[in-house]
Amino acid sequence: MSQSKVPAADSTLRILSHLATQRGPVAASSIGAALGLPRSSVYQLLGVLIDRGFVVHLPEERRYGLGVSAFELSSGFSRQEPLSHLGRPLIAALVDRLGESGHLAVLHGRDVLYLVEERAPRRPSLVTDVGVRLPSHLTASGRALLAALPPAQLRALYPNAAAFSTRVGFGPTTSTELRRILDRVRTDGYAVENGEITEGLASVAVAVYDHAGWPAAGIAVTFPAENIPEPEWPALAKRIEGTAAELSRRIRGRRP
């Protein structure tokens, strides 16, 4: 059925999608203006969404935000682990093409949590097994994700020197050092680490973005540093970027 036959359903979903991309509650007038919907339709649809718990009205502010039912949808999304299910075959195909190990990770506080790991044949075991957490500022996946965060959120994650840790004795230990690394990530379009997690192993990573243009996950390839010289890392990043773009497409994401 085309969306022209169900305009109310289409408009309702557009309102929810719009609210999900906002930094906070918004006025009904701004919703109507952003979506090109009549004021009367916006109020009618908001009323239904409020009744169903998907939207909450803040009368003092005259604004509307997402409600508990919308959060329950988000929780259901997390429980079903779609990133793992959608990402695993893509990571496996990438590993087959490259002959090096790959993984998928998400931010969890200051750590990255690994959801998928595919080890290439005859390659060393990695510490990035499924369920493992590592400091995001030390990993290529984490740096790819941190580089996409707003400055205020980054400062909240790393307020002082105590927020930094190392595994093998080197890596950024101050906000200034981390910012320098993340500036390079933004310039290059990909992140790297070399021996900061495991001596002798390097990683190259690219971020996956969600529907709001926020970093949803990082895809990285890890390899013995001697196998792929540093001048070849940009070309490797391009190949990883193709996989990241496909996973973004599958979760209806967009690069900001």
pLDDT at 76: 58
> Is 0.85 surpassed by the pTM of this model?
no
Query: What residue ranges do the domains of the chain occupy?
Result: 3-75, 81-250
CATH superfamily of 81-250: GAF domain (3.30.450.40)
User: Which residues on neighbouring strands pair with residue 113, listed in sequence order?
Assistant: 106, 133
pLDDT in tens, 231-247: 999 999 999 999 999 99
For all residues of the chain together, what is the average pLDDT? 89
Pairing of strands 55-58, 215-224: unpaired
What the block records as the tokens of 222 is 């890890």
Please check the confidence at residue 115 and state whether its pLDDT lies above 70: yes
Domain 3-75 has CATH 1.10.10.10: yes
Considering only residues 50 and 126, tell me which one the structure prediction assigns the higher pLDDT: 50
Collect all residues with Cβ–Cβ distance below 8 Å to 22 and sequence separation of at least 6.
65
Q: Select from 128, 90, 93 the least CA-distant residue to 245.
A: 90
- CA–CA separation, 29 and 18 (whole Å): 13
> Given this chain, do its domains 3-75 and 81-250 carry the same CATH topology?
no
The CA–CA distances, whole Å, from 100 to 24, 103, 160 equal 42, 10, 36
Kindly report, residue by residue over 166-216, the tens digit of the pLDDT.
887 889 999 999 999 999 999 999 999 999 999 999 999 999 998 878 899
CA atoms of 45 and 235, how far apart (whole Å): 49
| Cβ 107 vs Cβ 136: under 8 Å | yes
Give the tens place of pLDDT for each residue, 49-94.
999 888 999 988 899 998 878 766 765 555 546 788 899 999 999 9
State the pLDDT confidence band at 5, using cuts at 50, 70 and 90. Answer: low
- Per-residue pLDDT, 152: 85
